[in-house]
Structure 1
């Protein structure tokens, strides 16, 4: 799921490493042959039009005898499961395995289950008569050596039949009306959850109450508004709160997060795709470049819809021009809300209504700080004066208050006083305030923080943890520590780190290297990596390289063959093509580079999209290598002779 769809995240809401972090709002379970192109498709479109993040399996998914692990994972990462029980649902062993997993997650993880009885009555499902009876006769013959599995399916269907849901069998109504009822029910359940979240966003509700009547309205005008201010001020949280509160007033809605970061990665066309998919419920064609996306947005039905669009963290006018170029792209009554640190971007785009949050007042700031430092709204006995001092240093910045509160929780008065003494050297630089929490980490947790700050923001939590574990880190406990310290959050199964915290990580690495690129422990920009390679500047200081490149951006031809071997402490190397989903067979027709890859002996993880070289050099002995991934590479063979990889895993 696109990291851009993280609509219900908040840097100010309480975080817990033990809390299940759903990635999807809804998981759809259905018999494809019965309902895929009618009821299920219409329901999927209606859910997406309301910004409800919904998982359904792909039509062309290759199915074997057992259910795909990715579907089990999607069930675990969902808040609700809608089960569309059709006449032939029970004939599919795939559906029955899927249903068994859903009920298990209901019992063990609190997954909410909502059945839809589509042209079949609950009693048929419960008693397994009619088509369900024949299905189980067939299953008993097929699984005569595993009757226990068949009995589990029977019991699972009985449980589902007893859950309150929607019975289309008895209702003399249009399907479209019932679908709207289902969508409305899901929205109400999600809204009640997000309302409880918003209650914990200290000071935000008063900002919303101030902002809405002054800057936007519910008339027929198209309202374009900017929320502008320095990092850490709560702009994203404020935009999220507005989105939660008002999205059900619109015909379509979309929350586009991390616009600046994703644009810099060359993913602006993907943001255009997200906008159209969420508001219009999907599109028939894939957007591969910004120009196509621009034409598609202009020619779509957006101008006939009243929409709520949030563009979070914009830093260039091109981003606005390609996502929300003109007011008349949208229907009457639409709201377009833009958050940015740069007021000039708003002025250039003709955004006249600009709201500038002032940060939290002293009372709200103290309450927010105490919620982190003491897990309650007031300081513990003997800590009031110390807490007021910390609040004073934080200058009303929510991010600083949360981070410092998480750092000081559980510490003695003496430790607080020592921390306050160190604050005296801080001259208003928020990076220095945030670094206090970083400095209190153990060395391994620091390394994990820096890897995530440089490489893995917005990436799937489980995949990143696997990579970090392959690098020798105790990643699960390390991530838990970072979440507890408010240096990292997890939303929709992906890592979320505030821009200022990531910038602090970059600043730490550059400071430690003395400003010398070749002495940096990590390289994350294509141009920096190429500069180091082409100028023979590789050193043992470089520990990790993760870069994402666009077509023709990463040219390895001028790089000396032995250069990688000079990075003797390199543990991680990922060179990934950002648009690798566009497979270009012409690449295979290019003559091979006949050189070999001299891999550093300490390397643990190597992933290189479209690697042009001939093979791994037998001169290398990377005995620590755990993962080798050469996607779309033109490797002729892995190596010459015999090479032992005792640690290599699938």
Structure 2
């Protein structure tokens, strides 16, 4: 029992102590709810004491188990009187249980209750006290409670479960902490509840249909997935016999293995009274045999369906600790929301930093910083998500960020397949994490903030030595590397774009570079390449040379023997170009 019980259990010992009241007490305590019952705090046979009155006052809920002889106990009547007094002070809730008695007999003091009050009067209790007790019982009998009787179709165990759920709902013992205030999240909660066939319009979730659906909440880091999941969990968990909310699953698996997560889940669903397993297969077999018929809520931080099977067989934002930012900073707020791409994770961090700043200069400086680079909390979230990707997925993610955003996904597939990046698996995995989207015309789409993040990763490889990077997507840096002959041995993908330059097309001598032999992708928009590459393009898989000149060195063509994609669109090359024959031979 906890030091400050939340529930006061009132009953007449000889009637229910050895069966229903004891069963209810144990079920409540097993559910982690602090309960006080008079036999634990008082010496047997004594009248009600100030200590007992204090226990009622400190409790948030009283549960009187009103049996046929309940009113014959002076102690029970004093307890009921104190319960009603606490109820009138608006800080107490009474959940009556009518244990094989008719509630109308309690309300109108008939039958055994009339006989009990007559005995109290004959023993010298004054009319004023008796009327006060009667009034208390009448008040309690008018409350919504639970009625157990001979014709009831509900067993004691099921009735007890309902009582515990009601207590948990009132005490919010299993509610997860959600940062407040939340703006706009309610509509998304309602949408998920509707999919699960629940209605919560009156503030309490009510089942309105049958469903076996599983709801998957996914998105890029920082959009508020966990907040939404917690809100749904808090609405639903009281309606289930067992529930679990597991957070930081990936970290737990990395540190202690998947069996640790399975043991936590089993413990949650058994209300902490469960075996602990050493091996994942044993835990999985146990769950499949014991929990297959139960309805369970399992939310947050599942990596993919494969991991879920191994375990168990756009949101609005909140910031500034108000429903909306200060009115005088409305324009700046709109621009900040745009600069952070509306990500709640970023907006929350920015909102906290600006909460006590009441001058526009601070807001404008913050805005200027955000327009150059996202908030550090977003970067950390993206980094964590990126680090969970497999190497193949990381390579494709960086390729898209640097070169293929908006490109038909079917084209780079050929190159990625040739490099054993397994795009048929990697692209769906990136999509599942909302790191890329697939457009109506099969084009790969990536949010601007993610593209910026990907390029930041690329540039961080060698901040001051671009020639040692594997990707060069900044045209000025790429040209500087090539024309300076600084060495391109490490470069795997490179882009040059000269269209629209005031100085016209730019040419460079390919033989002045000491190596492009590791390059698999080259984009040479309007480039004029002169000289002999020799065998420097042996690894090339994709050449995108738009508007290339009609005539170029045949030696260059002969190095294209491993090409899988050649794009010479908008060039002067036509069907009569002799190079086609050389390519056919290659």
Higher RCO (C-alpha 8 Å, min separation 6): 1
TM-score w.r.t. length of structure 1: 0.39
Larger Rg belongs to:
2
TM-score w.r.t. length of structure 2: 0.42
